[in-house]
Amino acid sequence: MKSKTLLTEATKSTSFKILGWLTKLRSISFPKKIGTEKEPTIPWGPFKAMVQKEIGDHIRNWRFIILFSIIALACTGTLFATLSDGMKALVTDNSEHSFFFLNLFTKSNGALPPFFVFVGFLGPLFGIGLGFDAISSEQQKGTLSRVLAQPIPRDSILNAKFIAGIIVIGLMLFSLSFLVMGIGLIAVGIPPTAEEFMRIMVYTVLSIVYVSFWLNLSILFSVRFRQPATSALLGIAVWLFFTIFYPLIVNLIIKGYEPSKYASSQALFFYKQLKFYLVQIIPNELFDEITSAILTPSVRSLGPLTMEQIHGAIPSSLPLGQSVLLVWPQITGLLALTLLCFLLSYLIFMKREIRSRG
């Protein structure tokens, strides 16, 4: 019994000694190592306030109201014209591959272009209109230096303008897509299938990426040039170059390589392939190819094909995953162009010296 009591007393004394050592170690302040300090976190409160302020400025601006009204009227006009004149062409009887809601985006009655053509043509103007005075107008008003005087990271300003522009573009395009589906639902009385709905949603997301490229390009010009008129003119000039002048240049180049009617099949294939690759740097062409593959499931290839590749092919509709894989290079190129414009504007803005006006 005595040995047991002695053992318990010894364990109690050692435990008390260990607790005393631990309290002493807690009281000791060790010097912090270099690089172990916590990095300053992003001030989400001011960043959220800046995004909300930019969204409110866009929505209340007459420029946004006018551009959105033009795009909405053009798209709804071609939709009603197609439904009134070409209803039989949209609904194919006794066909298991009839995509009525996809045809609303791609078909027309001939009097007006289809829905996706209006989005591809007027979408760049909407993106340029949102971003051409994003930074230059702040510098002219003298508000940019006041914002930077606050404890806010400089890159938060550019990120807020970019995210606010994407949100506004997304609201516009999703509202137009749901408007088209709603009008089609009223006209037919049958809801879209899961395949059609997913294809329309993927098309809408990729349309946001396409318009965001022009938004980033206009923000880049706004960061580089101090006058909003200069950045707006440059954005419109780039849009006109890729829409009108570059296809003319490509046609002139292709004209010199046009083979004769007695040329071999290899020469004809090289001619078609050269024409296909020369237009792959145009954002409009990339978006048109993405649209044709996503909204038209029967499209199985985009470039020229040889007879060996065509032989044995069964004409059928592709699933959504295969359609996305078909245009994956175009999607990657459009994303790369968008990120490149954002990266250039980010680098220029972070290195710029901004002073207050007098």
How confident is the model over 269-313, as pLDDT tens digits?
Answer: 777 777 778 888 888 888 988 998 898 888 777 765 555 555 555
pLDDT of residue 106: 83
- Examine residue 27 and state whether it is found in any structural domain, yes or no: no
Identify whether 22 is part of a domain. Answer: no
Return the DSSP state at 245: I
d(Cα 271, Cα 256) in Å, to the nearest integer?
A: 10
What is the reported pLDDT for 35?
A: 46
Predicted local confidence at residue 207, as pLDDT: 93
In a domain, 211, yes or no: yes
**Gap between the Cα atoms of 130 and 170, Å rounded:** 13
Q: How many domains does the chain have?
A: 1
pLDDT at 60: 87
Residue 249, domain member (yes or no): yes
Residue 278: its pLDDT value, please? 81
pLDDT at 33: 47
Give domain status of residue 36, yes or no: no
Alpha carbon distance 277, 199 (integer Å): 26
d(CA 28, CA 317): 72
Amino acid at 320: L
Q: What is the spatial distance between Cα 343 and Cα 337, in angstroms, rounded to a whole number? A: 10
In a domain, residue 34? The reply is no
pLDDT tens across 117-161, in order?
888 888 899 999 888 888 888 777 777 777 777 777 778 888 888
Cα–Cα distance for residue pair 177/71, rounded to 1 Å: 12
Domain span holding position 49: 44-303+316-351
Dihedral sign for Cα atoms in the order 317, 319, 324, 325:
negative
> 220: how many CB neighbours lie within 10 A of its CB?
25
Q: Does residue 12 lie within any of the structural domains?
A: no
| Positions in the chain whose pLDDT score sits under 50 | 1-8, 10-12, 15-16, 18-19, 21-40, 93-97, 358
**pTM summary value:** 0.79
**Is 228 part of a structural domain of the chain?**
yes
pLDDT at 171: 92
User: Would you state the structure tokens that stand for residue 107, as one six-digit string?
Assistant: 């078909």
CA of 275: how far to CAs of 117, 192, 241, 309, 334, in Å?
21, 37, 18, 19, 19
Cα angle: 68, vertex 231, 215; to 5 degrees: 45
CA separation for the pair 158, 184 (Å, rounded): 39
**74 half-sphere exposure, CB direction, 13 A CA radius:** 18
Q: Where are the beta strands (DSSP E) in 100-185?
A: none
- Give pLDDT, residue 25: 42
For residue 64, CA distances in Å to 67, 179, 229, 311 come to 5, 19, 17, 51
